[in-house]
Structure 1
Amino acid sequence: MKEPSSLAARKATERILEISRLPVYRNRHTTLLTDLYQLTMMYGHFCAGRHQQRVVFDMFYRSNPCNNGFVIAAGLEQVVWYLQHVRFSEEDLEYLRSLHLFGDDFIEALRHFHFTGDLYAVPEGTIVFPNEPLLRFEGPIFEVQLIESAVLTFVNHQSLIATKAQRIVDAAKVNPVAPNAPVIEMGLRRAQNLDAAVFGSRAAYIGGCTSTSNVLAGQSFDIPVAGTQGHSWIQSFPSELEAFRAYARTFPDATVLLVDTYDVLNSGVPNAIIVGHELRKEGRSLKAIRIDSGDLAYLSKRARQMLDAAGLTDCGIVASSDLDEWTIRELALQGAQITSYGVGTSLITSNNCPALGGVYKLVAHEMNGKLEPCIKVSENPSKVTNPGKKKVLRLLKDGMAVADLIALDDEELNPEQPLTLFHPIHTYKRKTIVHYEIEELLQPIVIQGELVYTLPRLPEIRKRVEDGLCRFSSETLRHLNPHEYHVDLSQPLWDLKQRLLHELRG
């Protein structure tokens, strides 16, 4: 890691050093977390003497997951950590040599590899939309090519899970019994291995979950942890009541009892009531019961009646059992008496949409010492890339977002002048706005290899999500058939795109 050259850079470096000491990052080596074709392309450029050619790549996605209206950007912290630590070890070099694909001079060049380019990115927790650059890399193609695969896996995964978590948390707000019912992320055992579980917990917290059952995620990211007992605890005692009493003696100030091991209404809840009264005599209280199977709407309503009749009106009801945003909404409509939710599989795997599908595309390359825009063409109009070095502008009126504009990096807008926006594919769809405010979404993160951005802590990222959501209409945020938010191209960018397409056709 290079020595920081300014106060801001020193502050940023201190933060990344702090992050690097976290258990999930410490002593990790991920340089070979790449697809082989990145290395073969690097070698081809190297052999052709083109490896120092300066290029610009955009990372973006083409469609919202889960039929959502937006995505919550996440994963930047992991990208920055990776860029600061990407180095080829001797073990890496020996492995690459053993493939018999690369010459010794290329292997020697890799020995001195480090990232010297620029990264601009939207901060984590930003509400984003299809085709907007979330990250923009500029630097020698030798460097910017290698990092593609790792960057995509970091951002695609965490953005997907953060977005799924927000859908689930939003669904929990519908419940009139507990309008802000907390959602606990409980997906560790169903995640696709270690990183999916730990970074998935981080992303779920960004998306609004209040806690996680994953202790390593709690330790690594300072996320509140939550958990009680499993069915095996109940089964290991001679009776359910003895199991409940033992747990209450062990955790008298945090007693939550799992009541569905045998029979929720005829055994679990009655035994929990006995323990609740015993705790009350000690000046304590039964915090909640948890129901993990069966008809959650019916059981929660009957359990609520029994608890209230016994005087345990402050005892909460936690529901788990393969919940997702649709099940949670349906439970609310049925009047379920649930005060918090534990969500596992559907959240940590985003089971109905298991991938975000972000891409990493070349948009400019150096020719005769100057960056020139380039374009990828497809018979599918949505896959034709937007050329050139670009920025993303959020346009606001009275504090509310009305549209996003993808513009060339050197463009200047005058908010006092009317601005006509048009759909980038269906150009007849137009709208004109006046007297708007501008928020530039892409922020400088790394400049000439030096980290200049201080990575925020998770509570700050969560706050950014909350503040960002408040800027959009309910129609854009709704889960079913959301309103399509305007993301348009500036006139100069549109003209450039059409010119390049015309030249290629010619």
Structure 2
Amino acid sequence: MAHSYLAEGMTAPATFSLFARKLPVGRGFLVAAGLEPVLDHLAQVRVDEEDVAAFAAALGRPYRDVEPLLGLGFSGEVWAVPEGRIVLADEPLLEVTAPLPEAQMVESFLLNQVCHQTAVASKAARCVLAAAGRPVVDFSLRRTHGTQAGEQAARLGAMVGFAGTSNVAAAHAYGLRAVGTMAHSYIEAFGDEAAAFRAFARSHPGPVTLLVDTYDTEAGVAVAARVLRELGLHEGCAIRLDSGDLGALAVAARRILDAAGLPSVRITASGGLDDYAIDQLVRAGAPIDLFAVGTLVGVSADAPYLDAAYKLVEYDGRPMMKLSTAKVTEPGAKQVFRGPGFADTVALRDEPTPPGTRPLLEQVMAGGRRTGPPRPLTEARAAFGADLAELPANARRLADPQPPDAVSSERLRRLTADVRRRIEERLRSEERLRSVEAAAPGTRAD
């Protein structure tokens, strides 16, 4: 498409809007994420000779045919919802304005990053809600869809309040707390739980977390308690339950630890946990102090994608919209004005801010460059916390949440109606012309 636009001289400014048409089933909100890697990509993207050669080879065409793409980069602007902010369906997560070939070229990357990261961040946020103040940590690297996705999951968890990650590379890259324990293979390699626990403590003399369910869970807890007492390790240490009836086993483990005089040794639970499982354990009163979440959260298993789109809403000063069944879009560059209690209004970007509201999208790129330095993760985390506190309770519910509905401003509704009318008039005119041509003598080939 970009190559065709260049060939046709279609390089006027175009605005594309990226938004989720609807929330995934079971979601009451989304957490905006993925903006930072998007901005990094847009600031450095450029089509070089190697890219052109690869594209020509993929098309089976001579290099000279696609050479007009050489040097194409991104020189436009971006308005976006900052990472960590809570958003609703049909609200733009970001909007790009750039020469048409440039704005079109970056579509796939933007959708890939924003959709994946927003889905995972939203799932992780629900885990924080379910934990009701107890720490949650990320254990997802082993089963995320690639190591990059694993690093993103660790970062996104931290954005919404996770206390740490087992992904050491991500902890180093983003300044997170590295947390971890041992695998069952470690216990099996020693052949004796007590020997394994002692060896682990010798290598890691600080607080340790001992995995107790390789063989018999309650017996493992008793062995861990004996080793911890023997080594004088108490404060900050924990045992980890990774299988079975975690609620019942946590009760038994707490009883064993307390009887051994280790009330400060915590209980960590892992193994197939997500927001729903955590919620059940918390509601049942399970004495679990920390939840480690992995596969189901790292891939957002119950809602692994967003029904999101990147649609042209303006070209060369003309508002554009799509009329496809169930996929109608609204024209024009937009802004979202947030009122108290998530009374959100999607409006045209040049509309004045209504009293008592604040704009949600910020300009984050101009002339192909960031308008400011990268946003610290701490700011995104603070923004999420503030939005979550304001989100209506029925949207925070884990079961059958009721998300608020954003409404369109009067100006946007009028523009949408006008553009629709013009398109439909043009379509009717074209249909009449086809009918006349079909009825004219000599127009059919017998």
TM over 0.5: yes
Q: 8 Å contact 1:395–1:439 — kept in the other structure?
A: yes
Q: 8 Å contact 1:55–1:365 — kept in the other structure?
A: yes
Match for residue 295 of structure 1 among 245, 248, 252:
245
Higher mean C-alpha deviation, range 243-252 or range 154-163: 243-252
TM-aligned CA deviation for residue 482 of structure 1:
2.1
SS for the counterpart of 1:152 is helix
- Give the counterpart letter for 1:502 in structure 2: R
- Aligned-partner Cα distance in 2 for 1:447–1:112: 19
Match of 2:153 in 1: 200
Higher mean C-alpha deviation, range 306-315 or range 221-230: 221-230
- Aligned-partner Cα distance in 1 for 2:188–2:77: 58
- Aligned-partner Cα distance in 2 for 1:189–1:402: 37
Match of 2:349 in 1: 409
Q: 1:197 to 1:286 in 2, by over 3 A?
A: closer
Which stretches of structure 1, 4 residues or longer, exceed 4 Å deviation after superposition? Answer: 100-106, 283-286
TM-aligned CA deviation for residue 105 of structure 1:
5.4
Q: 1:273 to 1:154 in 2, by over 3 A?
A: same
Q: 1:236 to 1:88 in 2, by over 3 A?
A: same
TM-aligned CA deviation for residue 505 of structure 1:
2.5
- Aligned-partner Cα distance in 2 for 1:339–1:357: 36
- Aligned-partner Cα distance in 2 for 1:357–1:469: 23
SS for the counterpart of 1:87 is coil
- Aligned-partner Cα distance in 2 for 1:414–1:288: 52
Whether 2:81 is the aligned partner of 1:137: answer no
Whether 2:404 is the aligned partner of 1:458: answer no
Match for residue 379 of structure 1 among 325, 340, 346:
325
SS for the counterpart of 1:99 is helix
Higher mean C-alpha deviation, range 68-77 or range 475-484: 475-484
Q: Percent identical across equivalent pairs?
A: 37
- Aligned-partner Cα distance in 2 for 1:69–1:110: 43
Q: 1:338 to 1:450 in 2, by over 3 A?
A: same
Q: 8 Å contact 1:252–1:279 — kept in the other structure?
A: no
- Aligned-partner Cα distance in 2 for 1:313–1:284: 9
Whether 2:414 is the aligned partner of 1:495: answer yes
Match for residue 319 of structure 1 among 269, 290, 293:
269
Per-residue deviation, residues 349-395 of structure 1 (Å, max 9, x unmatched): 111111012210000111xxxx0111100222xx2101112111111
- Aligned-partner Cα distance in 2 for 1:118–1:102: 33
Match of 2:442 in 1: none
TM-aligned CA deviation for residue 279 of structure 1:
2.5
Whether 2:329 is the aligned partner of 1:391: answer no
Per-residue deviation, residues 458-493 of structure 1 (Å, max 9, x unmatched): 122111100111122212221222233130111111
Q: 8 Å contact 2:76–2:97 — kept in the other structure?
A: yes
Q: 8 Å contact 1:301–1:336 — kept in the other structure?
A: yes
Whether 2:127 is the aligned partner of 1:187: answer no
> Where do 1:101-500 residues align within 5 Å?
104=63, 107-173=66-132, 180-265=133-218, 267-280=219-232, 285=235, 287-366=237-316, 371-380=317-326, 383-396=327-340, 401-415=341-355, 437-500=356-419
Match of 1:3 in 2: none
- Aligned-partner Cα distance in 2 for 1:79–1:315: 43
Q: 8 Å contact 2:251–2:286 — kept in the other structure?
A: yes
Per-residue deviation, residues 107-147 of structure 1 (Å, max 9, x unmatched): 43332222111111111111101111111111101100000
SS for the counterpart of 1:404 is strand
Q: 1:90 to 1:105 in 2, by over 3 A?
A: closer
Q: Name the Cα RMSD after superposition.
A: 1.6
- Give the counterpart letter for 2:240 in structure 1: R
Q: 8 Å contact 2:158–2:381 — kept in the other structure?
A: yes
**TM-score, normalising length: structure 1:** 0.81
Match for residue 55 of structure 1 among 14, 31, 41:
14
SS for the counterpart of 2:357 is strand
- Aligned-partner Cα distance in 1 for 2:354–2:275: 42
Match of 2:441 in 1: none
- Aligned-partner Cα distance in 2 for 1:471–1:463: 13
Q: 8 Å contact 2:337–2:354 — kept in the other structure?
A: no
Q: 8 Å contact 2:89–2:405 — kept in the other structure?
A: no
Q: Any gaps of 5 or more consecutive residues in structure 2?
A: 426-446
- Aligned-partner Cα distance in 1 for 2:235–2:83: 39
- Aligned-partner Cα distance in 2 for 1:469–1:352: 21
- Aligned-partner Cα distance in 2 for 1:348–1:451: 29
Q: 8 Å contact 2:88–2:403 — kept in the other structure?
A: no
Q: 1:48 to 1:494 in 2, by over 3 A?
A: same
Match of 1:71 in 2: 30
Match of 1:38 in 2: none
